[in-house]
Amino acid sequence: MKKMLMSSATTMITLASAVHAQSSITLYGLIDAGLTYTSNETTGTSGGHSNWQMTSGAVQDSRWGLRGAEDLGAGMKAVFALENGFDVNSGQYSSGNRIFNRLAYVGVSSREYGALTLGRQTDGMVDFVAPLSLTGTEFGGTHFAHPFDIDNLNDSFQINNAVKYMSPEFAGFRFGAMYGFSNQAGGFTNNRAYSFGVSYANGPWNVGFGYLQLNSSARTPAQLNPNGAVTDTTASSLQGVLSTSAVPVGVLADSQKTLGVGVNYAFGPAVAGFVYSQSKLTRFFQTNLSANFQNFEGNIRYALTPALELSGAYTYSRAGGNGGGGVPHWNQVSAMADYRFSRRTDVYVQGAWQRVSPSGTSPLGVAWINGVSNPSSTATQLQATAGIRHRF
């Protein structure tokens, strides 16, 4: 009798272990905190002043999340992800009142057929081009972004109501496409988004291309559908710079069309890369203004030792359009040294210097490094951060 009971108990434990192996839920996260010096920040009517401050996410946004999978058989899995971004110094959400402000999706995946997911998700620029740029990686991050993160390579915003497909790898190729619904009766094209991209990896080479289009025909924030796909468009990141100009502030563009291409080449302990992106904005800030932003980034990273990695980038950016005031252009030099105590914990020192060369009376003629609280009162700005990251 005892043998039968022991055998039954063993069988139940084996079955429970098998069921547990078919499903998994993972709690994960990253905390990035540091001390940042900025050479010049505007302070209302008193001009610019230097600033020492505690910062969160100088390289990567602090976050925590849940992801899981359930085996459905025949090589299929149900998958989900919920991810929250937060400010480690205050404990507040990093984006409005959304609990899962970075990711929130559910879907199915297959090694053979790829993954189909629905929810709040990243676009093709983030998925296929950002990994080739230092701003989209752990080797540069927030302050390395192109002006205003206009091309979203630093993942400044995500797309609501998105249906997304990501293919498996075929001989080094991967592709994906996404469509974000407006969820608005009588306004199918208002506040919608769509995106696609492709990448190819072969030996030391890694190449990626991405495209993103955001549509928002709303003319004022009150008319903007709060439940649409487009809720955090990059055009709004220009508000801080333009707030002192004659250009009305607070209104999104009719459309934003962004494309990008990048390439990385690995040799020995080093990886060198180049990224180009272009963003066209039409009818933004309640006017007939249009703008065309272009970014050219050269970057390199070098593993000096298994624990110590050095990285740096130079970015040249320019903005043109029919808004008048000439064509401003930006030069930014960024560098970082990172030391790993372990696989999960590292410390870093990084900095960026930006100079804007305005033409005419352009309101974009002041420097503003991405992630810094306020723009400079002059054409130059310097930022430096010493920080620590921990992953779990």
- Residue 17 inside a domain? The answer is no
- Mean pLDDT across 182-198: 89
- Residue 52 inside a domain? The answer is yes
Domain that holds residue 99: 29-391
- Residue 19 inside a domain? The answer is no
Give the number of other CB atoms < 10 A from CB of residue 64: 16
pLDDT at 311: 98
Residue 243: pLDDT over 70 = no
Which residues contact residue 241 at a Cβ distance below 8 angstroms, ignoring those fewer than 6 apart? Answer: 148, 363, 364, 366, 368, 375
Pair of tokens at residue 33: 């905190």
Name, of 190-194, 323-327, 379-383, the range with top average pLDDT.
379-383
- CATH number of the domain within which 93 lies: 2.40.160.10
Strand (E) positions, the chain? Answer: 23-42, 48-56, 63-73, 76-85, 103-110, 114-121, 159-166, 173-180, 193-202, 205-215, 255-267, 270-282, 290-303, 308-321, 329-340, 345-357, 380-391
Residue 181: pLDDT over 60 = yes
Q: How many domains does the chain have?
A: 1
Residue 21: pLDDT over 70 = no
- Residue 277 inside a domain? The answer is yes
- Residue 377 inside a domain? The answer is yes
- Mean pLDDT across 191-213: 96
Residue 360: pLDDT over 60 = no
- Residue 257 inside a domain? The answer is yes
Q: What is the pLDDT of residues 316-330, one digit of tens each?
A: 999 887 655 567 899
pLDDT level of residue 78 (50, 70, 90 thresholds): very high
More confident site: 25 or 5: 25
Answer yes or no: pTM beyond 0.95: no
- Residue 15 inside a domain? The answer is no
Residue 13: pLDDT over 80 = no
pLDDT at 247: 32
Residue 361: pLDDT over 90 = no
- Residue 2 inside a domain? The answer is no
